[in-house]
């Protein structure tokens, strides 16, 4: 099944209008039914006539008699709740093509929810089953509005956010990893994958990045971030995430931001800066002397391009930090047990130090990006004792490989293109 039909009956109020809608839906079903295997969902407002003696659910089912599968009627407490249930159902079947039958006014409202609750991984096709909807403010109760107001859009967003805030967490509580080498004058942490509301298997559950090619929406990721902030002690308004390009550009906050940057530094109190990772390293930098912080996103390309030392150098040049005072914590990333590169690229890591590569004679040697980062930082003047690989408390394992720990971390190497994202974050208290 590659497509699904969603029929919007949320605006039905007038019995005369109900008859018109029924006729149009029946005509649609006659044209597209004939044993169709495509699933059909019907969204109804609990306050509408659907489900009453005048418009019982049985009459809804009869309209779709030409389809092999009976429609599923969604009559939840709110449109947000109904659409969320709809999204869960089609995600379970891996369906991305959505056909929506609604009014012109309903289309404008649904497009607000589409923007908030879905991504570009889905395609939407709208068809009008009626041209107007019930409206108390218009003549004879029939509305010819084809748009919605700014306030209506804001109300829809508020309703969805409120609904998401009430959802229970998936897979336990939020668990953060923290380092003992970072001074108490800074707040910081590295996230794991538990405690959020993302339900798709490879994104579950505390996914913290919305990629339009994946199926976790902006609204869901925003709710995950809100929950993280409550746990860690910051608000989403304080939060700033790197705009990755797998390169070595660094943004000094307060100056014009480049289009993309894999490093970020600041001396502003209370501003939370963060670097994502899903095999790439989130790096946290702190200078307790000058009260300066930095973060970097370091994949294998960024490591070779020098993003770690570019971040250090920005702290030195912009805020007067001394490399000897800077502390760096390397967050969870893919380890040399699981990460391979083509021989030419692996050779560049071998040139940094032979210990960064295993099986160099292989066509795809194993590469240790964390060790390479540590070596480059030490060569740049960071003290070895000031560089730490983050670990799970009370466990002796020397490194945390994201690919080897599916219960703790997201991983592109392990999960493929539809992977989730964890992150490291820091702020000056």
Task: Kindly report the length of the chain.
Answer: 429
Distances (CA, A) of 96 to 2, 6, 43, 67, 69: 7, 12, 18, 20, 18
How far is Cα 123 from Cα 98, in angstroms, rounded to an integer? Answer: 6
Least confident of 96-110, 222-236, 406-420: 96-110
pLDDT higher for 53 or 102? 102
Q: Give per-residue pLDDT as tens, 142-169.
A: 444 567 899 999 999 999 999 999 999 9
Tell me: pLDDT of 427 over 90: yes
Tell me: pLDDT of 55 over 80: no
pLDDT given at position 75: 84
Q: Beta-carbon neighbour count of residue 261 at 10 Å? A: 22
- pTM (2 d.p.): 0.91
Comparing C-alpha atoms, which of 3, 76, 91 is closest to residue 39? 3
Tell me: pLDDT of 133 over 50: no
pLDDT given at position 128: 80
Tell me: pLDDT of 109 over 80: yes
Indicate the helix (H) or strand (E) that contains 357: strand 357-358
Tell me: pLDDT of 113 over 60: yes
pLDDT given at position 308: 98
Indicate the helix (H) or strand (E) that contains 317: helix 307-319
pLDDT given at position 418: 93
Handedness of CA 210, 402, 292, 251 (dihedral sign): negative
pLDDT given at position 71: 82
How far is Cα 219 from Cα 36, in angstroms, rounded to an integer? Answer: 33
pLDDT given at position 2: 81
Indicate the helix (H) or strand (E) that contains 73: strand 72-74
Tell me: pLDDT of 228 over 70: yes
Position 29 confidence tier, pLDDT thresholds 50, 70, 90: low
pLDDT given at position 225: 98
Q: Give per-residue pLDDT as tens, 59-86.
A: 666 666 666 667 888 888 899 999 999 9
Q: Give per-residue pLDDT as tens, 288-345.
A: 999 999 999 999 999 999 999 999 999 999 999 999 999 999 999 999 999 999 999 9
pLDDT given at position 103: 83
- Surface-to-core class of residue 77, CB atoms within 10 Å of its CB (0-12 exposed, 13-18 middle, 19+ buried): exposed
Tell me the pairing of strands 3-8 and 97-102.
parallel
pLDDT given at position 142: 41
Sequence-ordered list of residues with C-beta below 8 angstroms from that of 87, at least 6 positions apart, any chain: 117, 118
Sequence-ordered list of residues with C-beta below 8 angstroms from that of 328, at least 6 positions apart, any chain: 283, 284, 285, 308, 312, 377, 382, 386, 387, 388
pLDDT given at position 193: 97
Position 392 confidence tier, pLDDT thresholds 50, 70, 90: confident
Tell me: pLDDT of 409 over 90: yes
The arithmetic mean of pLDDT across residues 237-260, rounded, is: 97
How far is Cα 395 from Cα 191, in angstroms, rounded to an integer? Answer: 17
Sequence-ordered list of residues with C-beta below 8 angstroms from that of 249, at least 6 positions apart, any chain: 258, 260, 261, 262, 263, 310
pLDDT given at position 18: 56
Least confident of 26-35, 41-50, 106-115, 221-230: 26-35
């Amino acid at each position: 099944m590659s497509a699904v039909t969603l029929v919007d009956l949320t605006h039905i109020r007038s019995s005369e209008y109900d008859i018109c809608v029924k006729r149009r839906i029946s005509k649609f079903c006659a044209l597209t039914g004939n044993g169709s295997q495509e699933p059909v969902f019907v969204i109804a407002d609990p306050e509408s006539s659907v489900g009453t003696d005048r418009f019982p659910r049985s009459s809804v089912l009869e309209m779709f008699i030409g389809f092999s599968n009976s429609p599923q009627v969604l009559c939840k407490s709110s449109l947000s709740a109904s659409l969320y249930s709809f999204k869960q159902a089609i995600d379970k079947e891996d369906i991305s093509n959505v056909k929506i039958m609604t009014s012109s006014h309903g289309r404008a409202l649904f497009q607000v929810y589409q923007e908030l609750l879905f991504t570009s991984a889905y395609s939407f096709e709208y068809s009008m089953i009626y041209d107007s909807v019930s409206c108390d403010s218009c003549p004879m109760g029939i509305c010819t509005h084809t748009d919605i107001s700014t306030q209506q859009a804001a109300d829809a967003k508020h309703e969805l956010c409120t609904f998401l805030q009430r959802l229970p967490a998936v897979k336990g509580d939020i668990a953060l990893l923290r380092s003992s080498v970072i001074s108490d004058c800074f707040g910081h942490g590295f996230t794991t994958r538990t405690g959020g509301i993302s339900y798709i298997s490879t994104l579950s559950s505390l996914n913290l990045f919305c990629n339009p090619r994946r199926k976790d929406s902006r609204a869901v990721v925003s709710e995950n971030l809100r929950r993280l902030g409550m746990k860690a002690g910051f608000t989403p308004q304080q939060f700033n995430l790197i705009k990755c390009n797998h390169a070595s550009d660094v943004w000094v906050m307060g100056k014009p931001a480049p289009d993309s940057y894999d490093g970020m530094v600041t001396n502003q109190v209370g501003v939370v800066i963060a670097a994502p990772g899903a095999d790439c390293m989130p790096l946290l930098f702190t200078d307790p002397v000058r009260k300066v912080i930095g973060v970097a996103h370091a994949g294998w390309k960024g490591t070779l391009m020098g993003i770690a030392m570019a971040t250090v150098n920005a702290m030195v040049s912009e805020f007067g930090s001394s490399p000897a005072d800077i502390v760096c914590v390397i967050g969870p990333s893919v380890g040399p047990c699981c990460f391979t590169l083509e021989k030419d690229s692996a050779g560049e890591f071998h040139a940094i130090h032979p210990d960064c590569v295993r099986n160099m004679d292989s066509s795809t040697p194993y590469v240790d990006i964390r060790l390479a980062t540590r070596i480059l930082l030490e060569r740049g003047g960071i003290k070895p004792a000031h560089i730490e690989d983050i670990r799970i408390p009370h466990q002796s394992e020397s490194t945390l490989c994201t690919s080897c720990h599916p219960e703790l971390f997201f991983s592109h190497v392990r999960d493929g293109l539809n992977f989730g994202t964890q992150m490291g974050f820091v702020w000056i208290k």
